[in-house]
Amino acid sequence: MSIDTLFQPFRLKSFTLKNRFVMAPMTRSFSPGGIPTPEVAAYYQRRAQGEVGLILSEGTVIDRVASSNDPNIPRFHGEAALQGWKQVIDGVREVGGLMAPQIWHMGVMHPHESGWLPAGPFEGPSGLLRGESQGGRAMSDTDIEATIAAFAESAAAAKKLGFHAVELHGAHGYLIDQFFWEVTNRRTDRYGGKTLPERSRFAIDVVQAVRRAVGPDFPILLRLSQWKPMAFDFKLAKTPQDMEAWLTPLADAGVDVFHCSQRRFWEGEFAGSDLNFAGWAKKLTGRITITVGSVGLSGEFVKAFRGESSAPEPIDELARRFDRGDFDLVAVGRALLSDPHWVQKIKDGRTTELSGFQSSDLRKLH
């Protein structure tokens, strides 16, 4: 099985990725007070030097009092934080890399394990924490309007700083996803409803506002997941028809790329087909899609947080699906967190030099 096709360039609006590999967004909590440091800039620059086609930043939060539950997660607002991000993108550009920030609002959260709390209450569609209990307050119309504006402001800042695109974090049970999920969205106004398309109103408004802020030529990526934390088998879209009804309005609102989060890329999305989430999203919308999940590794990422390490794995199955046309781009998380040269080693067939992922790498910024 040849992997050469994964090294063909890819055109995304006005820029060209040198290959199909994307660095997956990975929260690192290495930005004291929310301000990315020179070490953070050097970490991303090493991945650009390592020939990653497109780097997605760790989730970086928008300008809402309670958009984060961790003071060391970078902010994407305010002069000092944006100056930090300027160092990041300048460093990446200097060595010919492409990068997009992943902009994020966590929604209703558990407080950070350190006990740190934001200056105001957590906020979400109904104030519910994974549907179990009240963990914050239900957002008012004014909150929703201001949050949509804050997403747009961060996206505009990304463009102004020289980033090449922007990714909206709509996955993994955070704010945008809390609106999608009936368990956390019990609203009866225009942001709620019995159907997934009705509960997509918030995401659509965010995408439209971001599109207005960045103009027609700046790529917008949207990260989505069917699974939720504590509900790994959950599916927002239970059939291809549901998925089409969910994604088409988002594509129409201005999404260029769907980043389809799975824990294992090879798992089929619906019974009777081995097509994965990115495969279905591409087939149903015609948009560019990114797959992700355990690429090049033996174990999956949720277990990594519980201390599990992963050994290197061949990427033949990935290449087979790619050559079949299932998806356009491939995001790689832990393999790139552990080894900034992972893409080059794969390209050159230096597989004996791959060392997999050690859970201790989560505490390093190398």
Ligand X SMILES: Cc1cc2nc3c(=O)[nH]c(=O)nc-3n(C[C@H](O)[C@H](O)[C@H](O)COP(=O)(O)O)c2cc1C
Task: Please report whether residue 59 would count as binding ligand X according to CB under 6 A.
Answer: yes
Residue number with CB closer to ligand X (26 or 138): 26
Residue whose pair of structure tokens reads 């993994």 in the numeric block: 172
Residue number with CB closer to ligand X (187 or 332): 332
Choice from 6, 12, 19, 25 touching ligand X (CB under 6 A): 25
CB of 76 to ligand X, least distance (A): 12
Residues 75-114, one symbol each (x = binds ligand X by CB under 6 A, - = not), give ---------------------------x------------
**Distance separating alpha carbons of residues 329 and 308, to the nearest angstrom:** 26
CA terminus-to-terminus distance, the chain: 32
CB of 149 to ligand X, least distance (A): 22
Q: How many CB atoms lie within 10 A of CB 327?
A: 26
Tell me the three state secondary structure of residue 90: helix
Task: Please report whether residue 288 would count as binding ligand X according to CB under 6 A.
Answer: no
Choice from 24, 157, 237, 288 touching ligand X (CB under 6 A): 24
CB of 105 to ligand X, least distance (A): 12
Q: What is the DSSP string of 253-291?
A: HT--EEEEE-SSTTS-SSTT----HHHHHHHHH--EEEE
Task: Please report whether residue 365 would count as binding ligand X according to CB under 6 A.
Answer: no
Establish whether 174 is a catalytic residue: yes
Residues 219-238, one symbol each (x = binds ligand X by CB under 6 A, - = not), give ----x---------------
CB of 330 to ligand X, least distance (A): 9
Task: Calculate ∠ Cα 325-266-249, nearest 5°.
Answer: 60
What length does the chain have?
366
Residues 148-187, one symbol each (x = binds ligand X by CB under 6 A, - = not), give ---------------------x-xx---------------
What are the start-end ranges of the E strands in 43-202? 54-61, 99-104, 123-124, 128-129, 133-134, 137-138, 166-169
Task: Please report whether residue 301 would count as binding ligand X according to CB under 6 A.
Answer: yes
Give exposure, 187-205, as e/b (b: 16+ Cβ within 10 Å): beeebbbeebeebbbbbbb
Task: Please report whether residue 22 would count as binding ligand X according to CB under 6 A.
Answer: no
Give exposure, 120-148, as e/b (b: 16+ Cβ within 10 Å): eebbbbbbbbbbeeebbbbbeeeebeebb
CB of 109 to ligand X, least distance (A): 13
Measure Cα distances from 216 to 8, 11, 89 in Å: 26, 16, 21
Task: Please report whether residue 129 would count as binding ligand X according to CB under 6 A.
Answer: no
Task: Please report whether residue 340 would count as binding ligand X according to CB under 6 A.
Answer: no
Task: Please report whether residue 117 would count as binding ligand X according to CB under 6 A.
Answer: no
- Residues annotated as part of the active site: 174
Residues that bind ligand X (CB under 6 A): 24-27, 58-59, 102, 169, 171-172, 223, 261, 292-295, 297, 300-301, 304, 332-335, 362
